[in-house]
């Protein structure tokens, strides 16, 4: 089926690039501001761009339509405000002078992130990434339209605290989705009520993916942090972020739901921690639940709950919380720092240094005087006396802290780096990886920060990149047959019904997002288009679910998309 240009509002076919849709009468010009993609722009020959939904420091999120299946999607365009210059009428995005290298590297980070998420979705609790491609000198990520409404809006419509059991049931898919991200080495860094959508069935789904640069202060991008929900380590590029960063944000979201108010922003807590315990805000909460949230919202990463599964299990079980409490490190309050402390400390250090230098000079003078007095006399009287040989001290190999090699390019940054080659021996093995680019180091042994004698051996596992699989030809297969064939090859099918004018056999595959015979990454999501029965004029706007469980389907089992997913703002 050839890709067609369609109206992003009524999803009817447009024969010519007209300024007004002849079907619904909506204007297609002047809808989006200058510098963004105009409404009606076709990307990759199959996606029609609609109006802007939101803008952040990393790019623009557009409403959109998939032209073949005629279902609604969202399209994220990489367009960093601090690095990108104005684009011309050709839609080609150009970096600002002097920002070419940073623009290119952050664009690669954007593509790698969405490719990695695409490989683990559709997954429970995560907004599915359907496609990632390059065009206009930038990168686009196409995601499903999950419907529902933001948790932030849901909470506004449901004032007051939420029952803990109801909060657990609603957020469970999100916890599972974040855990799936962590298993492949991804950290979300933007978990907050604005990036969680509540579907019609009451379950939640996580959206709002972004690179580390957008969610860390001082990274070079115009950062996007969420007061009350971003972790303390996100406020400085000097702090390391990990799974415990998302754990803090999930604890903050749960705190907001069961307390009725958001936690005190982490940047403010670092100066003076005045965040009240959950049970202080809502006395009806069980003591153990208040303690769990206290563990999850600790300022120091090493002292808080470390993983998302631990947090969810503790929120759901008082018995587990008691076990967890015995293993938690005691919390230490950040010391208040007097502005004059640094100056006073510097003066004290200078005084001590001067004293040490003076003592060293006096010692050298004393030794020199002693040697000058006794050396001639010893030389005359002990010509025939053999000199005593001082005992050689035992020599020990110097020990160094092992550097952090994970994420570095082995050939470019390690193997040819003289400072490393001279100090260590490397034992390298290769391994396929869906999430780590080819040539990058996946893990190391000993771990970073451990002591190792100079010349010691460090084992490195280097990525061979994703395993590639030949796309099978499933055109004409039944839906069930195509799903089985793709799954047997290690691919993830996502099926969509398309309108059938009678040219195709009902229930059979019309086309796929990847051509037969091409190489695709193992675990890739393959969009499969299934011909509907010719008597059906309107097909469902959401994907069929042969390969993965999805929570977007309503409880009545109708297969229809949530009503909100079909709405389209026209203001």
Would you list the domain boundaries of the chain?
A: 42-144, 149-327, 399-463, 468-562
CB 205 within 8 A of CB 148: yes
- Tell me the C-alpha distance between 290 and 300, whole Å: 18
| pLDDT at residue 350, rounded to an integer | 64
Q: Say how many C-beta atoms besides its own lie within 10 A of residue 432's C-beta.
A: 15
Confidence of residue 155 (pLDDT cuts 50, 70, 90): very high
**Would the pTM count as exceeding 0.75?**
no
CB 568 within 8 A of CB 9: yes
Report the CATH number of the 468-562 domain: 3.30.10.20
Instruction: Mark out the alpha helices in 468-532 (DSSP H runs).
Output: 479-488
> Which neighbouring-strand residues pair with 521?
468
- For residue 18, the 8-state DSSP code is -
Beta strands in 79-167 (DSSP E): 129-135, 138-144, 149-150
| pLDDT at residue 216, rounded to an integer | 73
- Tell me the C-alpha distance between 116 and 129, whole Å: 9
Tell me if residue 519 falls in helix, strand or coil: strand
Average pLDDT score over residue span 343-354: 57
Q: Say how many C-beta atoms besides its own lie within 10 A of residue 487's C-beta.
A: 14
Q: At which residue do the structure tokens 């406020």 appear? A: 235
Question: Is 149-327 a CATH 3.60.15.10 domain?
Answer: no
Q: Do domains 399-463 and 468-562 have the same CATH topology?
A: yes
- Tell me the C-alpha distance between 152 and 204, whole Å: 12
- Residue 284 region by backbone torsions, left for phi larger than 0, else alpha for psi between -120 and 50, else beta: alpha
Classify burial at 242, counting beta carbons within 10 Å of its beta carbon; exposed 0-12, middle 13-18, buried 19 or more.
Answer: middle
58 pLDDT more than 80? yes
Confidence of residue 304 (pLDDT cuts 50, 70, 90): confident
Q: Out of 3.90.1170.50, 3.90.550.10, 3.30.200.20, 3.50.50.60, which CATH number does the structure's domain 42-144 have?
A: 3.30.200.20
- For residue 508, the 8-state DSSP code is B
CB 296 within 8 A of CB 325: no
Closest CA to 332 of 305, 290, 298: 298
| pLDDT at residue 240, rounded to an integer | 67
Q: Indicate the average pLDDT of the chain.
A: 79
Q: At which residue do the structure tokens 């675990």 appear? A: 523
CB 94 within 8 A of CB 137: yes
Over the stretch 513-567, which tens digit does the pLDDT of each residue have?
888 999 888 888 898 999 888 887 666 544 444 433 343 333 343 333 333 333 3
For the chain, what is the radius of gyration of the CA atoms? 31
| Residue 252: C-alpha distances to residues 240, 309, 326, 397 (Å) | 19, 15, 23, 48
Confidence of residue 153 (pLDDT cuts 50, 70, 90): very high
Cβ neighbours for 452, distance < 8 A, ≥ 6 positions apart: 399, 400, 401, 402, 424, 446, 458
- For residue 19, the 8-state DSSP code is S
- Tell me the C-alpha distance between 208 and 109, whole Å: 16
CB 56 within 8 A of CB 214: yes
Biggest alpha carbon–alpha carbon distance for the chain: 122
Highest average pLDDT, of 35-44, 370-379, 430-439, 448-457, comes from 35-44
- Tell me the C-alpha distance between 418 and 488, whole Å: 46
Closest CA to 295 of 278, 282, 281: 278
Cα torsion 261, 263, 267, 269: sign: positive
CB 159 within 8 A of CB 131: no
Q: Say how many C-beta atoms besides its own lie within 10 A of residue 399's C-beta.
A: 12
CB 561 within 8 A of CB 540: yes
| pLDDT at residue 229, rounded to an integer | 92
- Tell me the C-alpha distance between 431 and 439, whole Å: 10
Report the CATH number of the 399-463 domain: 3.30.10.20
């Amino acid at each position: 089926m050839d890709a067609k240009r369609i109206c992003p509002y009524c999803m009817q076919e447009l024969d010519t690039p007209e300024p007004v849709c002849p079907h619904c009468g909506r204007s297609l010009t002047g809808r989006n501001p200058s510098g963004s993609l105009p409404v009606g722009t076709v990307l990759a020959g199959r996606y029609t761009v609609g109006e802007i939904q939101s803008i952040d420091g990393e790019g623009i999120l557009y409403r959109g339509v998939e032209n073949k299946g005629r279902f609604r999607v969202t399209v994220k365009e990489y367009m960093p405000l601090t690095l990108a210059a104005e684009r011309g009428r050709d839609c080609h995005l150009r970096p600002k002078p002097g920002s070419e290298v940073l623009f290119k590297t952050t664009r690669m980070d954007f593509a790698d992130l969405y490719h990695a998420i695409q490989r683990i979705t559709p997954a429970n609790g995560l907004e599915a990434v359907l496609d990632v491609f390059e065009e206009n000198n930038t990168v686009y990520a196409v995601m499903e339209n999950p419907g529902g409404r933001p948790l932030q809006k849901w909470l506004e419509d449901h004032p007051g605290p939420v029952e803990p059991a109801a909060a657990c049931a609603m957020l469970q898919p999100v916890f599972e989705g974040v855990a799936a991200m962590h298993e492949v080495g991804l950290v979300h860094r933007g978990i907050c009520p604005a990036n969680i959508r509540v579907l019609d069935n009451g379950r939640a789904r996580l959206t709002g993916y972004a690179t580390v640069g957008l969610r860390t202060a001082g990274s070079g991008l115009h950062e996007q942090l969420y007061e009350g929900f971003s972790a303390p380590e996100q406020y400085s590029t000097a702090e390391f972020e990990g799974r415990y960063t998302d754990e803090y944000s999930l604890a903050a979201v749960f705190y907001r739901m069961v307390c009725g108010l958001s936690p005190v922003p982490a940047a403010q807590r670092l100066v003076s921690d005045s965040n009240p315990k959950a049970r202080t805000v809502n006395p009806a909460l069980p003591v153990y639940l208040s303690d769990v949230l206290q563990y999850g919202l600790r300022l120091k990463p090493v002292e808080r709950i470390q993983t998302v599964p631990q947090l969810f299990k503790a929120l759901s079980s008082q018995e587990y919380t008691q076990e967890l409490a015995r293993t938690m490190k005691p919390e230490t309050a950040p010391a208040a720092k007097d502005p004059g402390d640094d100056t006073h400390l510097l003066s004290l250090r200078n005084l001590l240094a001067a004293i040490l230098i003076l003592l060293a000079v006096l010692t050298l003078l004393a030794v020199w005087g002693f040697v000058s007095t006794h050396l001639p006399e010893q030389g005359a009287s002990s010509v025939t006396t053999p000199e005593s040989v001082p005992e050689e001290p035992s020599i020990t190999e110097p020990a160094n802290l092992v550097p952090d090699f994970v994420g570095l390019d082995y050939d470019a940054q390690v193997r040819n780096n003289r400072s490393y080659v001279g100090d260590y021996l490397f034992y390298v093995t290769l391994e396929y990886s869906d999430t780590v680019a080819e040539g990058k180091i996946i893990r190391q042994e000993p771990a970073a920060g451990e002591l190792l004698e100079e010349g010691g051996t460090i084992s490195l596992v280097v990525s061979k990149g994703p395993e590639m699989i030949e796309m099978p030809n499933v055109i004409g297969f039944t839906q069930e047959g195509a799903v089985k064939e793709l799954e047997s090859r290690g691919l993830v099918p996502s099926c969509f019904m398309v309108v059938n004018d009678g040219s195709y056999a009902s229930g059979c595959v019309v086309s796929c997002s990847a051509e037969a015979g091409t190489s695709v990454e193992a675990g890739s999501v393959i969009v499969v288009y299934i011909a509907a029965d010719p008597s059906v004029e309107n097909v469902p706007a959401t994907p069929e679910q042969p390969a993965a469980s999805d929570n977007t389907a309503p409880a009545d089992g109708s297969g229809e998309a949530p009503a909100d997913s079909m709405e389209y703002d026209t203001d």
